[in-house]
Chains A and B, each alone.
Chain A
Amino acid sequence: MLLIPCPFCGPRPELEFRYGGQAHIARPENPAALSDGEWAEFLYLRDNVRGVHAERWRHIHGCARFFNMLRDTTTDRILTTYKTGEPRPEAV
């Protein structure tokens, strides 16, 4: 089980959190203007990184807030967490 450092509450067990998938995928401003291919890319295509992955988590049984986390998917080691809206930090 991961011990996840919530940027608002500190380290808490994974069971308090909900995984939110790949981070930094912005919803297109005007979906109606997109082609089917561009819309499918937004909805379904993912990097599925083998290495350092930026991902969203929500502390659903705690402060209930979203945040982002860098984790190495080859070791599950957590590198850092940061607040939603902040740019992705350099991999530590």
Chain B
Amino acid sequence: MERFSGLSLLRHAMGGHQGWKPFWREPEPKPAYDAVIVGGGGHGMGAAYYLAKQHGMRNIAVLEKGWLGGGNTGRNTTIIRSNYLFPESAALYNHAVKLWETLSEELNYNTMFSQRGVLMLAHTVHDVQVFKRHVHANRAAGVDNEWLSAAECKAFCPPLNISANIRYPVMGGALQRRGGTARHDAVVWGYARAADSLGVDIIQNCAVTGIRRDASGAVEGVETERGFIRTRKVGVSAAGNTSVVMAMAGLRMPLESFPLQALVSEPVKPDFPCVVMSNTIHAYISQSDKGEMVIGAGTDAYTSYTQRGALHMTSHTLDAICELVPMYRRLRMLRNWGGIVDTTPDRSPIIAKTPVPGLYVNCGWGTGGFKATPGSAHLFAHTIAKDEPHPINAPFSLERFTTGRFIDEAAAAAVAH
């Protein structure tokens, strides 16, 4: 792998930038691998990287049915935070935030991670009580989070309208200063480039069509559009299509897949200094480095695989944003799109072994998987390599739906998050 640096940039500039090489190879699939990851998004690509880097498994492949990062990795609103209520979740997401902080150096690739702060607004007495509880729980768990009054929110994010004349006035907010955003494409490209240099085969346009099991029930390999690939370990990291892939091994999952939409505006000058989220009135907004306002909407009501949703979902979010930041009423929206998110009954993810020996699954991230990318990938690689979960992801098992030991962040946040 060519190391990127100021010097390498200068050297290529002298050569008229004609000498840049592709970031990764495009190999033909081999007949057999030590492990195969299904899904070339951030979570899957990252898992392949950590398998190669930390667990010495170099003879592995990532199978992607489309192109790298073309699913939810390229469709999210890039928000990163770890201010979750329960100790299991706070530990999981904070593990990810810590990895984010060194990821660009680790991969020698600029992920444009920006810890500009995530401000979650409270609009009702109930919000205030819940967020203060979050702040205290987070601080007890060693996760930074602090309470701001409405005036302090305005000082931190001047475009906000904190006047009393809106339908749900801002009553304060919880600020996580270590939260922020990252360039979503760069994350998967950085992982892919680093994994490829360690010998990982990245095979795009290669959908898995079956999972073959031997007489004992263990995984024997995967059928793909480009032939059978023998392997004893399969890690499924297929987001909205996880139920479809797991059904190939005869497993039903506690998952439902819903469309989730996002949209961006025309680019404008930098004026929005942080990420603002409002669960109560459903506004999620930040400004990309290109200047676009990046806006997230809610999930549609029904399950779907169409990667599109209904207009009333996005207009509902825009109503809230126009009231919260009145100057954006004149802003034009450029593009909107949908992704398919797999949600669990308790709205917490599953990173676990399955009842099928050799089959592992990382799914159920619902509406908030991007923030966890490095942590999730790191823990999934550990689970696959050691055939047992890391202590951080041990609570995020499939069995919790049988034992009832939920990590019920849905109830804690009272909204999809």
Interface residues of A (CB under 8 A from B): 1-2, 14-15, 17-19, 21, 36-37, 40-41, 43-50, 53, 55, 71, 73-76
Contact = CB atoms under 8 A, between A and B. Distances in A.
Contacts, number: 66
Q: Which 5 A-B pairs have the closest CB atoms?
A: A48-B243, A44-B254, A19-B301, A40-B402, A45-B252
A15 B315 CA distance: 13
Contacts of B244: 48, 50
A41 to B, nearest CB: 7
A47 B252 contact: yes
B304 interface: yes
Contact of B253 (A36, A45, A50): A45
8 contacts: A2-B302, A21-B256, A43-B345, A45-B401, A46-B243, A48-B253, A48-B257, A74-B306
A20 to B, nearest CB: 10
Contacts of B402: 36-37, 40
B17 interface: no
B401 A53 contact: no
B303 A73 contact: yes
B305 interface: yes
Contacts of B403: 36
B241 interface: yes
A21 to B, nearest CB: 7
Given A1-B312, A15-B312, A36-B403, A46 B306 contact: no
A73 B305 contact: yes
B302 A48 contact: no
A19 B306 contact: no
A85 B255 CA distance: 25
B164 interface: no
Nearest to A4: B302
A47 B243 CA distance: 7
